[in-house]
Each structure stands twice: as structure tokens, then as C-alpha cells.
């Protein structure tokens, strides 16, 4: 797998922290397709299933030598200490349902022009289901395809599986999962796909990216022995905004379309360790794993 390092600004601290913390609470493995490449100025798009998975993806990419700028809900910038870290590292706040929302794409386009990797979660929210099982990525929003079309940047699909083993479900369940993770050390997997150029326009380009991320997720779920379900199979195709919303992190519950509460939960982190070990029976050629 080709990794091109680009040292611009100080977009390193959160990635380093994620990679340092994850070994304590889980066992993370990382694989990549033959021909996968993380070149400067690429858009990295990953599936979003848990409050924990951004930390998982950052840790995995850091092990591959990549330190992306992350597009995240603006409410995170109001969290003490975390907000300062996000600002210091040059991450990009997304003001949803606000006239400032377009500013995020402008900032992301400039970051790509400077050679940064930009990590985006195209689903725009978390699934409403409460179980810890894996399910395929939900519907993508249009921001990813608009950013790719505007900049011509290649899109690198990333699939992650297992993060819901750390945090999912009700508030008590999420907190319990986080507190017991160091004892359980659940298995997690991140798979990096080959970069693609979005050739379609509008919905077609969005679907092209969605299909690539879904394929990467299938690989990740398969590495964990998970049964790959579609959102329809899980009866949870809709998404909700997480508690990290634009109204500030004092709002500990975001309401779903059905009126039920989506739990606040604590941010979980997931694992790491020794590198270069092949996964037996896998068709991929790079693996970073922990004992």
C-alpha cells in the first residue's frame, strides 16, 4: 500500500492520541486492497456506526502513516479541551442546518489543495438501532460528491467494523461497554479500499462512493466473522444525529424521528499493536494487528 506523508500544520495530536489509546480497550486489525493508496489531497470516506468509530479510523490511519483532517459536527468544538485540540489540529467544523454549512466545504477544498487528507462521514449521523450487530452503511448525503466534483480529489473508501462492540445502545449500555472494554478487548477491523474517481454526477456519484465504502465494510465485517446485514435487514436504515450536535454538547440527547432518545454515551476508543502480520486466509496483503 502506498502512503505519502505530508506534514502541514499540526494535524497530528488526535491521531497520535487515538493510536496510543486504542490498544488498551480492544484488538484492532487493519487491511488494505492491493493498489490502495493514501495520496496527498485525497478524500477519505468511512462508514459511521458508533461514537467510537472516528477514534478507531484515526488510529488505523495513523498506523498507516496518515493523519487526516476530520470534518465533524461543530458542537464538538464546544467541548472543553477537545474543542481546543480540534482547532489546534486544523479539523473542520460542520454547522448543520445553518447558513455556515457551506463554509465547511470551502475549508475542506482548501485543505485538499494544500495536500491534506480529509476524512468525511457521508452518512451524516449514527444509526438509531440499539444492538451491537454490524449493518451496511446507510444513505450518503451529497456533500461528499460535491466536494469531490469541485476539487477533483480521489476518494479513498474505508470500511470499519466492530466499533459498536465498544459503544452502542442505551446510555447505561454504552457506559458499561466503555468501562468494560479494557477487560473484553473486543476485536475491531478497518479496511482501506483502492482510491476511485467519482465519474457520475449528483446521485450517481454519491451511489458510486456508497458502493465502494459498503464493499470495504463487507471486508471489515468478514474479518471479524460478522454476518453482513443491510440497513433494511436491521430495520434501521435511517440515521439520527449524535449528541455531538450543533446545539452544543450540553444537549445530552438527540431525538430520533420516532421520538425516542438517542443516548449521549461516552466516546470509546479501540485498539492496536504489532504490525506486518498476515491474516490467515485473507486475500489482502497488509495487516497491522495487536496480540
For the chain, the structural domain boundaries read 2-288
Read off the pLDDT of residues 215-234 as tens digits, 9 standing for 90 and up.
Answer: 999 999 999 998 766 555 54
pLDDT computed for residue 283 by the predictor: 30
Q: Are the C-beta atoms of residues 228 and 222 closer than 8 Å to each other? A: yes
Tell me the residue length of the chain: 291
In angstroms, the CA 266 to CA 49 distance is 14
Q: Label residues 254-274 b or e (16+ Cβ within 10 Å = b).
A: bebeeeeebbbbbbbbbbbee
Is pTM beyond 0.85 here? no
pLDDT computed for residue 167 by the predictor: 83
pLDDT computed for residue 176 by the predictor: 87
Of the two residues 44 and 282, the one the predictor is more confident about is: 44
Of the two residues 175 and 46, the one the predictor is more confident about is: 46
Q: Stretch 162-179: mean pLDDT, rounded? A: 86
pLDDT computed for residue 118 by the predictor: 97
pLDDT computed for residue 97 by the predictor: 75
- What is the band of 122 on the pLDDT scale with cuts at 50, 70, 90? very high
In three-state secondary structure terms, 224 is: coil
pLDDT of 144 over the 80 cut: yes
What does CATH list as the number for 2-288?
3.40.1130
In angstroms, the CA 135 to CA 235 distance is 10
pLDDT of 212 over the 80 cut: yes
Q: 49: closest CA among 258, 234, 196?
A: 234
- What is the band of 129 on the pLDDT scale with cuts at 50, 70, 90? confident
In angstroms, the CA 266 to CA 176 distance is 10
Of the two residues 276 and 180, the one the predictor is more confident about is: 180
Read off the pLDDT of residues 6-52 as tens digits, 9 standing for 90 and up.
Answer: 444 445 788 888 998 898 999 999 999 999 999 999 999 999 999 88
Look at 87-96, 110-119, 146-155, 270-279 and tell me which has the smallest mean pLDDT. 270-279
Contacts for 96 with CB less than 8 Å, ≥ 6 apart: 73, 74, 124, 241, 245, 246
- What is the band of 259 on the pLDDT scale with cuts at 50, 70, 90? very low
pLDDT computed for residue 177 by the predictor: 85
Amino acid at each position: 500500500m502506498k502512503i505519502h506523508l505530508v506534514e502541514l500544520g499540526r494535524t497530528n495530536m488526535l491521531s497520535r492520541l487515538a493510536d496510543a489509546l486504542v490498544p488498551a480497550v480492544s484488538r484492532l486489525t487493519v487491511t488494505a486492497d492491493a493498489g490502495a493508496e493514501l495520496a496527498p489531497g485525497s478524500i477519505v470516506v468511512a462508514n459511521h456506526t458508533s461514537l467510537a468509530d472516528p477514534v478507531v479510523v484515526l488510529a488505523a490511519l495513523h498506523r498507516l502513516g496518515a493523519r487526516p483532517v476530520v470534518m465533524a459536527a461543530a458542537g464538538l468544538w464546544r467541548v472543553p479541551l477537545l474543542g481546543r485540540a480540534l482547532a489546534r489540529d486544523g479539523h473542520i467544523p460542520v454547522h448543520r442546518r445553518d447558513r455556515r454549512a457551506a463554509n465547511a466545504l470551502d475549508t475542506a477544498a482548501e485543505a485538499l489543495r494544500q495536500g491534506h487528507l480529509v476524512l468525511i462521514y457521508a452518512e451524516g449521523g449514527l444509526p438509531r438501532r440499539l444492538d451491537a450487530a454490524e449493518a451496511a452503511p446507510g444513505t450518503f448525503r451529497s456533500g461528499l460528491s460535491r466536494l469531490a466534483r469541485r476539487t477533483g480529489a480521489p476518494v479513498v473508501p474505508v470500511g470499519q467494523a466492530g466499533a459498536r462492540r465498544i459503544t452502542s445502545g442505551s446510555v447505561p449500555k454504552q457506559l458499561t461497554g466503555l468501562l468494560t472494554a479494557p477487560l473484553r478487548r473486543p476485536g475491531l477491523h478497518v479496511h482501506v479500499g483502492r482510491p476511485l474517481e467519482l465519474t457520475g454526477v449528483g446521485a450517481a456519484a454519491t451511489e458510486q462512493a456508497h458502493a465502494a465504502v459498503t464493499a470495504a465494510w463487507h471486508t471489515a465485517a468478514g474479518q471479524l466473522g460478522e454476518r453482513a446485514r443491510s440497513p433494511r435487514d436491521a430495520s434501521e436504515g435511517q440515521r439520527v444525529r449524535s449528541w455531538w450536535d450543533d446545539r452544543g454538547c450540553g444537549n445530552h440527547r438527540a431525538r430520533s424521528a420516532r421520538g425516542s432518545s438517542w443516548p449521549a454515551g461516552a466516546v470509546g476508543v479501540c485498539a492496536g499493536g504489532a504490525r506486518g502480520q498476515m491474516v490467515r486466509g485473507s486475500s489482502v496483503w497488509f495487516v497491522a494487528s495487536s496480540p
